[in-house]
Every structure is written in structure tokens, then in C-alpha cells.
């Protein structure tokens, strides 16, 4: 069998095999059950609690959770703005890179605090090492935020839970230290031994074999890359992310980095099963997510391995497949696999340039972000899925003519309204943003000529992709877009803010209000959530709400480009 | 709101110290044990040091060419072309690269050129080319350096890196290593 395909199969099986036990472990962390790592982490957590001035045993209701989350996130944003606009003169800047202007700093600070990692700068020239390490901090804590708030939703879904849903800071610290830290540590060590730099020295200068001078950017790369893969962050140390051979030196590191993308998002589903003691529900969720994921993945691999027909017409060989923007050491299959992993989850790192992919591969990466819950971001992926579950419960209830219930709690008008607003927010931000950008560009194509690297349908796709990526808190890009301008920095920054916090506030409000309701024991008339029938319902709701809303915009971009090429 | 401000600030400071400081230093310390000491993998040859993972530009006919690069192998500003598959300007660039290759490699047919030799990589620093991309250059190298094609083909074969464990990924050739070996060929 083709070794490229075998590599992809191996990566998928590896992540499933690792995600099941990890999910059980995460469930134990959420439940404050004991684990074999307690000896190490109990003392460490106590230090965090002591110096942080927090008491993890104080219960909070859902509103207090949200206030705590928003307050600490606001503080991170302010600190980030300070570092980014002042790093030019601050220490750890051996390459003498400049501070950022206000609009780029705003975009970057929002981007990293919201777990998006959209980058309108290039790491080699745009950040000092202090800037890089500060962004790396957000990669830990923004992922920890997502996992913590997902824990709150899990606890709220338990049968006997009422008002108090645990302590936000407790979940947050435990997510960072017990889940993210050890796995990131292992990854960083593997990367270091495969040649990824981890140094505070500045650029190296070498003379090439042909006698030219070549400068090589270095830095504390390994520590950074590991957590950016793991926490569905995705922001690269170097401009072109994990295509760069320093960031991703060989196929082994590529396997590691690809597995890390989807490891925690997938494990969260099994954690749900452990926390609620409902394994079957977890498998239903996993089944729907996996089916959706495969629908995106298989055609993408097919189209990438078949290459660009316009290049075939020139008479050269495309045995490898579409190679523009790709690295020989990964090949198109592993690059297509990564592309779908990184967009279905909200990671956004790349090991090939998405802008140069064949049209339909580009479309499936877009669709992954438009749905944004096939595994999804760490924690927030399940929260997005939860919104679709609520909608499916509601529609299912209408079909059988009963007040809809989910896990023994009545789903009423208030919850459904919130769910619908959150489900529609995502298309609104993406399509509204793209419409505005297209309107501006069409009104004055000459002043905005710097925006688009490609003409025609593909140029439209570049703008659509940027807003989709911002709203999905993804962070990958059709990087041909000239996006470091005040318009793109501010527009994407605002979209990222709304798209991060409202889809956290809404589902937590739903979960909190459901938790406070009276528990109704299951009866013969209860709509069972852990069946494949209900799974199909959820999938249908996702397809209708998420995918169909975007279909017209996709026809204008990738689908039109497809018909112009094939 | 108020009662959350102080914990937010204190907890953030703890996180800065731990994740920016202790985690980073721990990885840095381990890196001192790794090959290259965390400063990038290098090889030394005839008193010169090269980064083995970072591709170099090779344009002379006496060396195996590396892939086209959108950033001209600038390892302090890496990047791809970001050209879309239907962009006419991009397709014209590809056609020009094919013509250049054919002009420098007499006797080679279009259909023998693999696409990685005429497309730019994502990083602009791809250190590898495919096996076909090396084979198609064998005749030119043999002619330029007055070796038999067999000798050069053998060199290509011995520099071919197999898929991981023979099972996963692509076969490829590190252009720098191949060219260093080429310089040593007697």
C-alpha cells in the first residue's frame, strides 16, 4: 500500500488509541478523582492556589464562572498589548525586532488570548523572544480556559447538579498543569531531539555550499511548537508555521504534531462519558464528529494527491500530487490530513499553504471551520456541539409532540432561543465580514490592490477564508491576503472577540439554567440522546444550520474555481 | 467583578513565572543534551558548517538543484508563494520554470520532470527533493562533472531517505547532503 496513505491511517489510529485513555484521565481531573500523577501535581497546584490567592473549593454558579473567565481574559489582553507594543526595547530581543503598531498589536493580542492565533505578522521579523514567550503563555492559558469552561458544562449536565458548578480557577489551574503541561513537555522534548531549535541565541549566519550567505532564524522554538499544536492554538514560531523545517523537521515530528492537533479535542468527548457516566452518549457524539470529519477528509486527500489539472496540462509529472506550498518530506496526503485536522478543530497551524491547495480541498478546509465542532477546539469544540444537541433535542421534541428533554432536564423556549442565536452568530460574522470586505474592494479595487494575491474566484476565497478563520477562532489563513492593514487587523480582531466569548457565554447560560431545573427521571416517552437515531438528527441539524448557510458563498469562491479548472 | 480582579492578576503572574519561565527553562536545559544543543542540527564538512534541515539554493549546473523558493531560501524570512491553483500569472511562472529546466537539461522530456521541481514549497526552505527530481538531473550532472551516469545514479540511490520505518510518508533526498557527497566523488 502507498506509504503516504499508510502514514495517514497510522496518524488517525494513533490519536484514537491515545484519546480514549486520555479522555478518562481528563474526566478524573474534572471530578477531582485521584490519579497516579497526584504526587507530582498536588504540590504544584497548591503553589498555584497559594500564590494566586484562590480557593478551589468555593463553588460558583454559572454567572460567577463567566465573570471570572472574562475578568482574567481581559487582564491577559491588557498585559499582551503592553508587551507587544514595547518589546522592541524590552529584553530577549537578540535580532532587534521592532515593537508592533497599535492595530497589529490589537489583532495579535486578541488573536492569542481568544485561542485563535491568527497571525498578521511573521514570527522571524515581527516578534522578540519575549513576545514569542508571552504568546506561548496565552497558548497554555487560553487552552486552559476552554477546557475549564467545558468542565463547567459537563458538571452542569450531571443529573443531580443544581446551582453550584465547581470553581472556575480550580478547573483552570488543573487543566493547565495536569492536562496541557505534561503532554506539551513530552512533545517539546521529542522536537528538541529531532532538531527543532531551543535557544536564546539570535540568527545564525552560514555560507551555503554555493558560497552565498544565508541567515537562519532560531529561538525557543520547541517549547512553543509543542503547546501550539496541543492547545488548538496553531500560531507558529515562524511565519509559515509547521511547513518550516525548523518547526517540523521530519515525518516523525509531523506525526507527533498532527496527533497533538486533535488529541485533546477528541479526548474531551470521552471525558464527557466519564464525567456523566454515560459512555454511550460519548460514543454517539464521537460517531457524529468522526463521520463529519471523514466527509471532509477523504475528498481532500483525493484531490490533493491528484494534483493541479492546470499543471498536468503542461505535460509534467504529478506523481506526488499538488506540490505548490507543500514540503517533500510530508507529501500531499499528510498535508491534506493535517489541513482537515487543523480546520475541523480550531487549531489553525499548517504544514502546507492552504492558499495553494486545489479548489475543493480549500473548500473542505473552509467547511471544517464553518461547522467548527467536528472535534473542534479544546473544550469549546464540545461546547459548540452542545448547541447543536440542544437544537436537535428541540426539533426532535417537536417531531414527537412532547416537551423536549435532554438528560432529564426540560429544554424550554429560553434555552432554544440562546442556542439559535449562537448557531446563527457564526454565519453572521463570517458572511457579514466577507460582504463588507468585498464591498470595499469592489468599490475601489485600485486602493485595495494589495489585499489579494490571486485574481478572480480565488481572491474572493481569500477574503472569505480570513473571516471564517477569525470567526472559528482557527487562525490559519489563505496567506496570500495582504492582511496587515488597519481594516483587516481591526475587523478580524472584533470578529475573533465576538466569536470567542459569545459562544462560551451562551452554552454556559443554557447549561446553567438547565442544571437549576428539576430532574425528571427517564420514562418510555423520553427522547433518548445516546442512540444512533439521535446522532443522525444532530448531524442533520449541523448540515442544515452550519453548512447550508454557507453554501452560496462557497459557490462564489472554491466551487466556481473548481469548474474553471476541471 | 471586583472580587475576581485580584485573583486574576495574581494567577496571571503565577502563570507567567511558571509557563514563560520554568517550563521554558526546563525544555532549554534538556535541549543542552540534544544533538546540536538546541541551536539547530548542523553538519560540518571541509571546515564549514551547514544547517542540515534548512534548504539551500542550488542553481549551478554542477549541483543538483533544489526546489524553487518563493523567498529565495531566506531562512530569516521563510514563506510560500501563496499562489492559487488557477492564477494565470502563477501558471506562467511554472511554464517558465519548465522551459528553464529543459534548456539546462538537454535530452530530457517534459513528461520526465516531476512537479516538485517546478513548484515552490510552503516554507521556501524545503531541504528535500523527490527521488524522480534527482534522477531527472543525473544526466546533466554526469555530463558537467565527467562521470558516468551510473556513478551518479548510485550516489542518488545511496542518498535516498526511506519512509519512516519503511512504512509511513514519502521517499526523499536531502539536496545538501547529496551535493556534499557529489563534491567528494572521485
Q: Which run of H or of E encompasses A215?
A: strand A213-216
pLDDT of residue A164: 84
pLDDT of residue A84: 93
CB A22 within 8 A of CB A264: yes
Stretches where chain A sits below pLDDT 70 are: 1, 161
The C-alpha atoms of residue A371 and residue A345 are separated, in whole angstroms, by 10
Flag if A479 and B80 touch (Cβ within 8 Å).
yes
Q: What value of ipTM does the predicted structure carry?
A: 0.94
Measured between beta carbons, the chain A residues lying within 8 angstroms of B168 are 3, 6-7, 10, 251, 255
The C-alpha atoms of residue A272 and residue A393 are separated, in whole angstroms, by 18
- Rounded to a whole number of angstroms, the distance from the CA of A308 to the nearest CA of chain B is 7
Measured between beta carbons, the chain A residues lying within 8 angstroms of B66 are none
CB A375 within 8 A of CB A381: yes
| SS3 letters across A412-470 | CHHHHHHHHHHHHHHHHHHHHHHHHHHHHHHHCCCCCCCCCCCCHHHHHHHHHHHHHHH
pLDDT of residue A1: 60
Flag if B56 and A214 touch (Cβ within 8 Å).
yes
Residue with cell 490519536: A15
Measured between beta carbons, the chain A residues lying within 8 angstroms of B29 are none
Cβ-nearest to A316 among B34, B115, B171: B115
Measured between beta carbons, the chain B residues lying within 8 angstroms of A46 are none
| A257 touching B (Cβ < 8 Å) | no
The C-alpha atoms of residue A172 and residue A150 are separated, in whole angstroms, by 10
Flag if A316 and B113 touch (Cβ within 8 Å).
yes
**What is the b/e burial string over B12-51, where b = at least 16 CB atoms within 10 angstroms of the residue's CB?**
bebbeebbbeebbeebbebbeebebebbbbbeeeeeeebb
- Rounded to a whole number of angstroms, the distance from the CA of B60 to the nearest CA of chain A is 8
Task: Establish, for the pair of chains A and B, how many residue pairs have beta carbons separated by less than 8 Å.
Answer: 366
DSSP string, A74-109: HHHHHHHHHHHHHTTTSSS-TT-PPPPPHHHHHHHH
Place B1 in a pLDDT band, splitting at 50, 70 and 90.
Answer: low
The C-alpha atoms of residue B23 and residue B31 are separated, in whole angstroms, by 12
Can you count the helices (H) and strands (E) in chain B? 7, 5
Flag if A4 and B116 touch (Cβ within 8 Å).
no
Flag if A561 and B86 touch (Cβ within 8 Å).
yes
Flag if B11 and A54 touch (Cβ within 8 Å).
yes
Backbone angles phi, psi at A214, to 5 degrees: -130, 125
Measured between beta carbons, the chain A residues lying within 8 angstroms of B41 are 195, 249
- Rounded to a whole number of angstroms, the distance from the CA of A107 to the nearest CA of chain B is 21
State the best of A5, A11, A72, A324 to mutate against chain B, taking most chain B CBs within 10 Å: A324
State the best of A356, A478, A482, A562 to mutate against chain B, taking most chain B CBs within 10 Å: A356
Flag if A4 and B170 touch (Cβ within 8 Å).
yes
- Rounded to a whole number of angstroms, the distance from the CA of B43 to the nearest CA of chain A is 11
Instruction: Look up residue A524 and give its three cell numbers.
Output: 418510555
Cβ-nearest to B54 among A216, A322, A561: A216
User: Helix, strand or coil for residue A480?
Assistant: coil
Q: How distant, in Å, are the alpha carbons of A402, A523, A541, B112 from that of A396? A: 9, 16, 10, 59
Flag if B77 and A124 touch (Cβ within 8 Å).
yes
Residue of B nearest to A79 (CA): B12
DSSP character at residue B123: S
CB A304 within 8 A of CB A324: no
Please name which of A226, A227, A205, A203 lies closest in space to residue A128, comparing C-alpha atoms.
Answer: A203
The C-alpha atoms of residue A444 and residue A46 are separated, in whole angstroms, by 59
pLDDT of residue B3: 83
- Rounded to a whole number of angstroms, the distance from the CA of B71 to the nearest CA of chain A is 11
Is B167's pLDDT higher than 90? no
- Rounded to a whole number of angstroms, the distance from the CA of A80 to the nearest CA of chain B is 11
**What is the b/e burial string over A163-190, where b = at least 16 CB atoms within 10 angstroms of the residue's CB?**
eebbbbbbbbbbbbbbbbbebbbebbbb
CB A384 within 8 A of CB A285: no
Flag if B53 and A245 touch (Cβ within 8 Å).
yes
A352-381 residues touching B, CB cutoff 8 A: 352-353, 355-359
Flag if A329 and B11 touch (Cβ within 8 Å).
no
The C-alpha atoms of residue B28 and residue B31 are separated, in whole angstroms, by 5
Q: Across chain B, what does the average pLDDT equal? A: 91
Amino acid at each position: 500500500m502507498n506509504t503516504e496513505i499508510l502514514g495517514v491511517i497510522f496518524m488517525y489510529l494513533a490519536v484514537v488509541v491515545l484519546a480514549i485513555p486520555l479522555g478518562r484521565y481528563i474526566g478524573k481531573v474534572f471530578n477531582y478523582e485521584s490519579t497516579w500523577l497526584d504526587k507530582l501535581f498536588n504540590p504544584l497546584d497548591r503553589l498555584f492556589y497559594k500564590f494566586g490567592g484562590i480557593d478551589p473549593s468555593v463553588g460558583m454558579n454559572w454567572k460567577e464562572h463567566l465573570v471570572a473567565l472574562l475578568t482574567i481574559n481581559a487582564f491577559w489582553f491588557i498585559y499582551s498589548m503592553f508587551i507587544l507594543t514595547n518589546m522592541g526595547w524590552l529584553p530577549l530581543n537578540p535580532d532587534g525586532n521592532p515593537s508592533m503598531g497599535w492595530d497589529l498589536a490589537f489583532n495579535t493580542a486578541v488573536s492569542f488570548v481568544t485561542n485563535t492565533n491568527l497571525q498578521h505578522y511573521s514570527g522571524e521579523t515581527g516578534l522578540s523572544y519575549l513576545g514569542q514567550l508571552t504568546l506561548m503563555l496565552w497558548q497554555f492559558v487560553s487552552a486552559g480556559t476552554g477546557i475549564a469552561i467545558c468542565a463547567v458544562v459537563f458538571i452542569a449536565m450531571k443529573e443531580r447538579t443544581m446551582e453550584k458548578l465547581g470553581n472556575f480557577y480550580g478547573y483552570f489551574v488543573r487543566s493547565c498543569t495536569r492536562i496541557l503541561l505534561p503532554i506539551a513537555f513530552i512533545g517539546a522534548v521529542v522536537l528538541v531531539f529531532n532538531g527543532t531549535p531551543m535557544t536564546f541565541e539570535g540568527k545564525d549566519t552560514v555560507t551555503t555550499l554555493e558560497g552565498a550567505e544565508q541567515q537562519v532564524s532560531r529561538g525557543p522554538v520547541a517549547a512553543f511548537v509543542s503547546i501550539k499544536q496541543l492547545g488548538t492554538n496553531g500560531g507558529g514560531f515562524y511565519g509559515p508555521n509547521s511547513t518550516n523545517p525548523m518547526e517540523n523537521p521530519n515525518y516523525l515530528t509531523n506525526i507527533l504534531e498532527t496527533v497533538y492537533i486533535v488529541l485533546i479535542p477528541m479526548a474531551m468527548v470521552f471525558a464527557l462519558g466519564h464525567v456523566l457516566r454515560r459512555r454511550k452518549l460519548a460514543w454517539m457524539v464521537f460517531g457524529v464528529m468522526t463521520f463529519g470529519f471523514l466527509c471532509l477528509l477523504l475528498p481532500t486527500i483525493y484531490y490533493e494527491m491528484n494534483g493541479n489539472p492546470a499543471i498536468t496540462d503542461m505535460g509534467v509529472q504529478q506523481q506526488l500530487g499538488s506540490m505548490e506550498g507543500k514540503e517533500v518530506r510530508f507529501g500531499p496526503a499528510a498535508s491534506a490530513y493535517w489541513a482537515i485536522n487543523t480546520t475541523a478543530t480550531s487549531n489553525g497551524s499548517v504544514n502546507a499553504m492552504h492558499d495553494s491547495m486545489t479548489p475543493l480541498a480549500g473548500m473542505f478546509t473552509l467547511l471544517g471551520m464553518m461547522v467548527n465542532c467536528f472535534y473542534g477546539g479544546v473544550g469549546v469544540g464540545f461546547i459548540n456541539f452542545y448547541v447543536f444537541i440542544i437544537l436537535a433535542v428541540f426539533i426532535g421534541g417537536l417531531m414527537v409532540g412532547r416537551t423536549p428533554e435532554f438528560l432529564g432536564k426540560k429544554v424550554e423556549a429560553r434555552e432554544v432561543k440562546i442556542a439559535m442565536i449562537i448557531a446563527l452568530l457564526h454565519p453572521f460574522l463570517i458572511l457579514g465580514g466577507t460582504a463588507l470586505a468585498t464591498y470595499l474592494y469592489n468599490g475601489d479595487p485600485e486602493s485595495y490592490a494589495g489585499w489579494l494575491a490571486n485574481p478572480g474566484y480565488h481572491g474572493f476565497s481569500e477574503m472569505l477564508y480570513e473571516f471564517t478563520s477569525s470567526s472559528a477562532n482557527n487562525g490559519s489563513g489563505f496567506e496570500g491576503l495582504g492582511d496587515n492593514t488597519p481594516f483587516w487587523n481591526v475587523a478580524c480582531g472584533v470578529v475573533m472577540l465576538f466569536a470567542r466569548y459569545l459562544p462560551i457565554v451562551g452554552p454556559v447560560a443554557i447549561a446553567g439554567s438547565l442544571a437549576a431545573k428539576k430532574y425528571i427521571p427517564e420514562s418510555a416517552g423520553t427522547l433518548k440522546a445516546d442512540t444512533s437515531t439521535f446522532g443522525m438528527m444532530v448531524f442533520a441539524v449541523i448540515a442544515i444550520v452550519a453548512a447550508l448557510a454557507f453554501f452560496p458563498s462557497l459557490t462564489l469562491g472554491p466551487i466556481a474555481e473548481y469548474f474553471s479548472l476541471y | 467583578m471586583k472580587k475576581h480582579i485580584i485573583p486574576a492578576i495574581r494567577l496571571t503572574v503565577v502563570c507567567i513565572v511558571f509557563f514563560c519561565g520554568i517550563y521554558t527553562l526546563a525544555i532549554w536545559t534538556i535541549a543542552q543534551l540534544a544533538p546540536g544543543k538546541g541551536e539547530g542540527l548542523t553538519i560540518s564538512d571541509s571546515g564549514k558548517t551547514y544547517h542540515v534541515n534548512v534548504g539551500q539554493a542550488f542553481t549551478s549546473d554542477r549541483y543538483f538543484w533544489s526546489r524553487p523558493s518563493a523567498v529565495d531560501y531566506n531562512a530569516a524570512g521563510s514563506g510560500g508563494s501563496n499562489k492559487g491553483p488557477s492564477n494565470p500569472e502563477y501558471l506562467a511562472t511554472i511554464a517558465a520554470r519548465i522551459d528553464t529546466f529543459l534548456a539546462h537539461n538537454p535530452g530530457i522530456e517534459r513528461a520526465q520532470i516531476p512537479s516538485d521541481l517546478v513548484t515552490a514549497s510552503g516554507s521556501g526552505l524545503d531541504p528535500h527533493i523527490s527521488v524522480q527530481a534527482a534522477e531527472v538531473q543525473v544526466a546533466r550532472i554526469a555530463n558537467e562533472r565527467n562521470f558516468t551516469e551510473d556513478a551518479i545514479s548510485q550516489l542518488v540511490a545511496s542518498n535516498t531517505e526511506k519512509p519512516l520505518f519503511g512504512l509511513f510518508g514519502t521517499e526523499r533526498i536531502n539536496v545538501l547532503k547529496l551535493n556534499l557527497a557529489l563534491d567528494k566523488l572521485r
